[in-house]
């Protein structure tokens, strides 16, 4: 059975300290206050392995996310209509696609990067991401950035 990824919104006090430190380390790296993962991990008091274990799974939630964008990379089967299904999913949640990039498929699998703008009429963003991940032919979804 395929593992299902769910998204949750929890209060800061419910998040384990190691995850909060991963967010802090990511901020240090993104703001160029430290040049390496090792230095960021040491500064916040976690191991590098903890940082790498959780770095793609936690990020700050912005209450006022309207007008913001996020970028996802999706690997999906290279079959007619599968990309159209992803685009229809974004439309269903009334979000706006800013950019689409598809690399040349390799071994029947296409890599697609979508930059999506969240509008004031956009539905639940967590549900949108979940729906994209469950779309026909999708093997993998990764959130690359949030702005």
Residue ranges of the domains in the chain?
12-54, 69-146
Residue with tokens 């930059």: 115
> Three-state SS string across the chain, please?
CCCCCCCCCCCHHHCCHHHHHHHHHHHHHHCCCCCCHHHHHHHHCCCHHHHHHHCCCCCCCCCCCCCCEEEEEEEEECCCCHHHHHHHHHHHCCCEEEEEEECCCECCEEEEEEEEECCCCCCCHHHHHHHHHHCCCEEEEEEEEEC
Q: What is the pTM of this model?
A: 0.57
What is the topology classification, in CATH, of domain 69-146? Alpha-Beta Plaits (3.30.70)
Taking the chain (147 residues) in consecutive chunks of 10 residues, what is each chunk's mean pLDDT?
A: 62 88 90 92 96 86 62 96 95 94 95 92 85 95 85
Residue with tokens 């599968």: 82
């Amino acid at each position: 059975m395929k593992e299902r990824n769910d998204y949750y919104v929890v209060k800061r006090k419910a998040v384990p300290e190691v995850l909060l430190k991963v967010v802090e380390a990511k901020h240090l790296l993104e703001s160029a206050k430290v040049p390496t993962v090792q230095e960021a991990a040491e500064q916040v008091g976690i191991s590098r392995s903890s940082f790498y274990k959780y770095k793609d799974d936690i990020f700050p939630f912005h209450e006022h996310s309207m007008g913001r964008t996020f970028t996802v990379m999706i690997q999906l089967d290279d079959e007619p209509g599968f990309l159209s299904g992803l685009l229809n999913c974004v439309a269903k949640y009334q979000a706006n696609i800013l950019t689409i990039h598809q690399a040349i498929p390799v071994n029947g699998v296409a890599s697609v990067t979508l930059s999506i703008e969240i509008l004031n009429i956009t539905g639940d963003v967590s549900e949108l991401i979940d729906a994209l991940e469950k779309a026909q032919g999708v093997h993998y979804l990764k959130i690359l950035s949030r702005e």
